[in-house]
Amino acid sequence: MVGFLKGLILTLRTALRRPVTAQYPEPEKRQPVQDRFMGFPALTWDYEVVEPYCTGCMVCIRECPTQCMSAEMTDNPKAAEGTSSRRKIIETFEINLGRCILCGICVDVCNFDAIEMSHEHELSKYERNGNRADLDRLLELGREYQDKVSWKPTQPEKNSGVPKPGAKRPAAAKPAVADAEGKPSSEMTKEERLAAARARAAAKKRAQASDDAVAEDPPVAKGDMSPEDRVAAARARAAAKKQAQAADDAVAEAPPDAPAKAKSDMSPEERVAAARARAAVKKQAQASGDVAAEAPPVAKGDMTPEDRVAAARARAAAKKQASSEFDAKAEENTREGVTD
């Protein structure tokens, strides 16, 4: 009886107690999260200078293990006006929160107090890519977080955007990039910046091509050469020497020539082999002739390093062919000895 009453009291007490669970997803009934809670990353806002702390240095983007971040940096117009000490500022920033694993690495590596793990964790969407948060959304999340926890930068001296008195004004007035019309990059649209970057790349390529053409020109006197030209010439000479040495070695290893056999004494197989050897010799001679025709003989002292390499290669090819011709003849003679 006593046990029954105890159980009944416990049941009544539990039934009348305030619930310890929260009704989801009604926002006003949710449990508050702790300050240390790590939700989605958000960008912080510098209220003193009225701009983001983020300078677009890309360190967090490089370190993010899921590669879910992207950003673009631009010149800070406020630096040119002298109202901010940040010479560069973020122009676009995007985090695909659907891929973020909330690891906090981006916060740890940021040296500018520009990103924090906010308390936001309720961003369910129906679209697969619906959680791509752009710069405005990230700054909005950041401002909410800053207001909620009374956020302060960890390095206020270093990361404050307020220009220091007496500090040299940054030379941000000089445009970093300008298009054909001289428009500064900060005023360009994304497409214009892309076109300007492509034009710069094409100009660089053209300059490189003209440098290559100059490098292929006939050599100048050694005393007039630059150190790079001397190195290139020395390498070409070494390659030519190595090639000639390899050809000499091949000839030295070849056995002495053997007497040729009369055609009437050959077996059908030997005749076929001999015909093949002659065709190969002819082909090689033709190839050597072509090389020689393409490179008219000049005095060695007048040759460019490239000409010397080509001539050495032609000589080596001719030697190799002579060696294979010798091998074919030696094989015929060997066969003759066996059949006799």
Of the candidate spans 95-103, 134-142, 189-197, 260-268, the one that interacts with ligand SF4 by CB under 6 A turns out to be 95-103
Q: Establish if 56 lies at the interface with ligand SF4 (CB under 6 A).
A: yes
Q: Minimum distance from CB of 142 to ligand SF4 (Å)?
A: 10
Cβ closer to ligand SF4: 153 or 254?
153
CA 166 vs CA 82, 84, 169: distances in Å: 11, 13, 9
Q: Are strands 51-52 and 41-43 parallel, antiparallel or unpaired?
A: unpaired
Q: Establish if 110 lies at the interface with ligand SF4 (CB under 6 A).
A: yes
Contact 134, 92 (CB under 8 A): yes
Q: Establish if 45 lies at the interface with ligand SF4 (CB under 6 A).
A: no
Of the candidate spans 68-76, 136-144, 211-219, 274-282, the one that interacts with ligand SF4 by CB under 6 A turns out to be 68-76
Dihedral of CA 95/98/101/103: which sign?
positive
Q: Minimum distance from CB of 24 to ligand SF4 (Å)?
A: 24
Q: Minimum distance from CB of 44 to ligand SF4 (Å)?
A: 9
Cβ-Cβ contacts under 8 Å for 314 (sequence gap 6 or more): 288, 291, 292, 295
Give the one residue of 45, 46, 51, 71 binding ligand SF4; rule: CB under 6 A.
71
Give the one residue of 54, 139, 309, 318 binding ligand SF4; rule: CB under 6 A.
54
H or E stretch covering 206: helix 190-216
Give the one residue of 66, 92, 155, 334 binding ligand SF4; rule: CB under 6 A.
66
- In whole angstroms, give the CA distance from residue 327 to residue 333: 10
Site string for ligand SF4, 146-175 (x = CB under 6 A): ------------------------------
- B/e letters for 126-136, b = 16+ CB within 10 Å, e = fewer, are eeeeebbbebe
In the chain the first and final C-alpha atoms are separated, in Å, by: 126
Cβ closer to ligand SF4: 90 or 314?
90
Q: Establish if 139 lies at the interface with ligand SF4 (CB under 6 A).
A: no
Please state the separation of Cα 271 from the chain's center in Å.
59
Residue 104 gets the label, from left (phi > 0), alpha (psi -120 to 50) or beta, of left
Q: Minimum distance from CB of 132 to ligand SF4 (Å)?
A: 12
Q: Minimum distance from CB of 69 to ligand SF4 (Å)?
A: 5
Contact 151, 50 (CB under 8 A): no
Give the one residue of 42, 49, 106, 277 binding ligand SF4; rule: CB under 6 A.
106
Contact 36, 61 (CB under 8 A): no
Q: Which of residues 188-227 bind ligand SF4 (CB under 6 A)?
A: none
Q: Establish if 135 lies at the interface with ligand SF4 (CB under 6 A).
A: no
Structure tokens at 58: 């890309």
Of the candidate spans 13-21, 109-117, 220-228, 274-282, the one that interacts with ligand SF4 by CB under 6 A turns out to be 109-117
Please report, as ranges, the residues that interact with ligand SF4 according to CB under 6 A. 41, 54-60, 64-66, 68-69, 71, 90, 95, 100-106, 109-110, 112, 114-115
